[in-house]
Every structure is written in structure tokens, then in C-alpha cells.
Amino acid sequence: MLHPSSRLPANWPATITWLLLGFICYALPWSVIAAPGEPPVLRIQGSNTIGAKLGPALVKGLMEERGLRDIRLQQGAAENEQRVIGVNAEGQEVRIEVAAHGSGTGFTALKDGSAELAASSRPIKPAEAQLLTSLGDLKGRDAEQIIALDGLAIILNPNNPLASLTTEQLARIFAGEVKTWEELGGRGGEIRLYARDDKSGTYDTFKELVLAAHGKTLAANAKRFESSEQLSDSVSQDSHGIGFIGLPYIRQAKALAIADGDSQAMPPSTTLIATEDYPLSRRLFLYLPPGQQNPWAKALVQFAHSPRGQAIVEQTGFIAQTVRAVKVAADSNLPHDYRELASQAQRLSVNFRFQEGSATLDNKAQRDLERVLDYLQSHDKLNQAVVLVGFGDPKLDPERAALLSKLRAMAVRRELARHGVAFREITGLGDQLPVAANDGEDGRLKNRRVEVWVY
């Protein structure tokens, strides 16, 4: 029996419980107990194209670079949401959340403070930028970060014999005006339409590059999908189907070659998307508000631009911005001077483009200057090995078009020459070799470009 003075107090179960909790807190690292309730260090909201694979893969790569261990992916609170979790050197869990409900939701999340980074598979719209002016200039170079390139693939069932379409034909198909494959010279009867949902940046891009460019709207009977994978798999299993999808999601489907205006039909190849010549190429963005002080947000953007980050871009099926030299076939239908260049030199996998209505390089081109310089330095091409070729849109006076195209090349020359590049030749080919239709500003802007060639 216990001595009377040693009797347990009336509330002894609670006392024992608190003693045990105290021992556990003393014996185990505080982080093990606190981690589950800790908020995420970074929240990313927006594009399904980015958020499904690329975003989590970049986050995982950043965590690895920072020495985190036990990194794992976990399903989030809802469909198309993921958590990337790692453990740091102090044993603390670090969690980054990636929600992928469409590009537009990313800008909404920046506005209401529920995310620090917006992922988008299309440029921010003027109305969105206006609503976010309190966060700074979201169209500025420091805010608008192009992390990868992608192409919208027009996909069919693998047994469909059709090989190519124009953007005008695509617009009429998805508007419901072309109803059978026989109208396109094919076979198979009724055409069935598959499209991404309204929140999707993929849909916004298709709507802008195809539908709106030809004054069309999407047919009401199109089947809509939030998931890229589900859309692609549905088309590949439907002999009547046609859909549009980001390049990594072609999966078992067949991709068509696409022409725009007077351009030749181009497949969604790596090189043609890297140069943004493919008519349905697009940029993938992270938007980082200028005043955003979250260190993980800044680190992720920097990591995405790094060689390791761009390697992850390639591994996930997108097109990296890594500069490479590519041999171009010297086809007989090319202009004489250009054919001579193609027979002797190689083209770099990058085009310089300009801000709308300006001779100023756009945000991607400004960063591409650094990439091209790195390539020229590492391949000993700084002295008399580089040719710049400018292009533009038609003018009433062809000589004026040629002059303006050469002036664009001179603008790139000026920037590269500051860093010691001595050029072999600077030339302008005017409105020759268009890559887009010239009947709209978007197409003309795409045709105003400068190619880089090296000997």
C-alpha cells in the first residue's frame, strides 16, 4: 500500500498525460511535432499545363539543390492540387503547394493573397495586369518570367490519315462550321471536338491564336476537360475526334502539321517551337510580383532559368530555352542568300522578338541575350562567326520592309556587341519567309524577328 503522503492526486490521469507530453517534447525534435501545422513556405496557383508536371518537378529540383531530403509528392486538398514535401538539415518539414486550376486562377490568387507565384500558359491580360497594379508592374522583366516553351498540338486518333491543317481550317472546325472529315479531304464522317475548360491557359491560347484570330468562337457541343491527360486519351480513343493540347500531353494521339497564313505547314517539333516559328507555339510563365519578398518564390524563378532547371523542363516534355546550333536544310524554295547561309552555317535555336510597337527587345529576348552570349563564349564564336538575319511584315515599299528588318538585326547587334561580339554579317530579308499570317497584329509581331546563325 502507498503511504498516505504518497497518494496520487485526484486529477492524476491529467497529470500523467502532461508529464508524458513533456517528456515527448523534450525527447523529440520540436520540428517533428510542429511540422504538420506549419504553413507552406510557398504557394503556386494557376496553369494546369505547368502545375500537373513541370511545376512540381521544378520544386523538387530546387529542394534537391538546397539539400533537402526525403522529398515526396502528395495529393493536395482537391483534384489537380499537389504538395511537394522535403525535410531540411534541422529535421523540419518544408512544404510547397502547387494548385493547377487554370492560368486565370493564378492571377486571382495573387490578388487575394492566396498564392505568391502565378503559373500561366499565356501572357497576363491587360485587364488582369490593371487589377494587380497594387502589386507592381506584372508585365515588367522582373515580374514576367518565361520559364519554358510549349506548343499547342492539334491531335487526332492515330488512324486518321490527315497530315496537316491551316489555322483557318482549325477555326472553322472548332466553330462547328466544318462538320465532317470528308470536307477536309479525309474520311471518317462526323467530327467530334475536344477542348480544355474556360479556366485553362491552353484554351486561352487556342482561342487567341486560332478562334479569335479568325473571328470564330468555340462550338457549344465541344467536350470540355480540366485535365490535359484525360482530353488526350479521349481523342486517341475516338476515331472521329480532334483536340488541342500542350506538347507533353500528346501521349498516344497523332499530332498534325499546322500552317498560318502564307507560312509552310510545320509540325510541333522541338526546334520550331524553340524558335517560336511553329504557328501554335507559346511561352510558359511564372509571374512574380515585384514587391514579393518570399525567398522561396525568388529561388524557384532563378532555379527555373538555371541549366538544371531547363534540363527539368526538357525531362517533363516541354521545350527548354537552352541555345543549340541546328543544321537547316538548304531547300531550293528558300531565297538565294538564305539558302547559301543554310548550306554553310548553322542556325541557333532562338529568335529575338520585340515589344509591340517598339524596337525594344521583349522580356524573353532580353534574357536570351545572356543565353546567346554564353553559347558564343563557350563555343569560341565571338569573332567574325555570327550572322544576324532580320525579318518583318509587308510594307507598301519592299525596300522599306527590308530596311526595317535590317534595323531590327542592328538592334540585336548593338546589345551583343557591348559584350565583345564581332559580327560576320548583318542582313535583312524583309517580309520573306513568314511564320505567321500578316493580317493581324499578333502575326505581324511574330514575323518581326531576328535569327542568329553561326559559322
Confidence of residue 335 (pLDDT cuts 50, 70, 90): very high
Q: Taking residues 62-86, report their average pLDDT.
A: 96
> What's residue 442's pLDDT?
84
Confidence of residue 357 (pLDDT cuts 50, 70, 90): confident
255 and 181 share one domain = yes
Please say if the pLDDT value at position 213 is more than 60. Answer: yes
Q: Is residue 47 part of a domain?
A: no
170 and 270 share one domain = yes
Confidence of residue 436 (pLDDT cuts 50, 70, 90): very high
Q: Is residue 9 part of a domain?
A: no
Q: Is residue 130 part of a domain?
A: no
Q: Is residue 282 part of a domain?
A: no
> What's residue 223's pLDDT?
98
Neighbours of 347 (CB within 10 A): 21
373 and 442 share one domain = yes
The C-alpha torsion from 126 through 285 and 171 to 252, rounded to 10°, is -160
Q: Could you give the 3-state DSSP secondary structure of residue 415?
A: helix
CA 105 to CA 201: how far, in whole Å?
Answer: 10
Mean pLDDT score of the chain = 91
**Is 452:386 a contact under the CB 8 Å cutoff?**
yes
Q: Is residue 421 part of a domain?
A: yes
Backbone angles phi, psi at 339, to 5 degrees: -65, -40
Please say if the pLDDT value at position 341 is more than 80. Answer: yes
375 and 256 share one domain = no
Lowest pLDDT segment from 36-40, 164-168, 204-208, 350-354: 36-40
**Which of 235, 257, 274 is the last residue in one of the domains?**
274
CATH number of 443's domain: 3.30.1330.60
269 and 334 share one domain = no
Q: Taking residues 335-362, report their average pLDDT.
A: 94
Give the whole-number percent of the chain exceeding pLDDT 70: 92
261 and 334 share one domain = no
Confidence of residue 37 (pLDDT cuts 50, 70, 90): low
345 and 442 share one domain = yes
Give the whole-number percent of the chain exceeding pLDDT 90: 83
**Which of 256, 274, 292 is the last residue in one of the domains?**
274
Nearest 5°: the CA angle 262, 266, 271 is 125
237 and 358 share one domain = no
Q: How many domains does the chain have?
A: 2
- pLDDT tens profile 257-305: 999 988 999 999 999 999 999 999 999 999 999 999 999 999 999 999 9
Counting other chains too, the contacts that 206-210 makes at CB distance below 8 Å and 24 or more residues apart are: 206/152, 206/174, 206/244, 206/280, 208/122, 208/442, 209/152, 209/167, 209/279, 209/280, 209/282, 209/442, 210/167, 210/170, 210/171, 210/174, 210/244, 210/280
Please say if the pLDDT value at position 26 is more than 50. Answer: no
Please say if the pLDDT value at position 316 is more than 50. Answer: yes
> What's residue 439's pLDDT?
86
CATH number of 213's domain: 3.40.190.10
Please say if the pLDDT value at position 10 is more than 70. Answer: no
199 and 264 share one domain = yes
327 and 449 share one domain = yes
> What's residue 23's pLDDT?
40
Q: What DSSP letter does each residue of 95-115 carry, written as one string?
A: EEEEEES-HHHHHHHHHHTS-
Please say if the pLDDT value at position 380 is more than 50. Answer: yes
Neighbours of 89 (CB within 10 A): 9
In the numeric block, the cell 502507498 is attached to: 2
pTM over 0.75: yes
pLDDT top residue among 21 and 83: 83
Please say if the pLDDT value at position 19 is more than 50. Answer: no
**Which of 274, 290, 315 is the last residue in one of the domains?**
274
- pLDDT tens profile 233-260: 999 999 999 999 998 899 999 999 999 9
264 and 333 share one domain = no
445 and 327 share one domain = yes
SS3 readout for 227-240: CHHHHHHHHHCCCC
Q: Is residue 376 part of a domain?
A: yes
Please say if the pLDDT value at position 206 is more than 80. Answer: yes
- pLDDT tens profile 118-152: 999 999 999 999 999 999 999 999 999 999 999 99
Q: Is residue 25 part of a domain?
A: no
Q: Is residue 311 part of a domain?
A: no
CA 55 to CA 286: how far, in whole Å?
Answer: 10
Tell me which residue range forms the domain holding 330: 323-454
Which of 154-190 are b and which e, b meaning 16 or more Cβ less than 10 Å from the residue's Cβ? bbbbeebebeebbbbbbbbbbbbebeebeebeeebee
Backbone angles phi, psi at 256, to 5 degrees: -90, 155
In Å, what is the CA distance from 44 to each residue of 122, 205, 412? 16, 21, 34
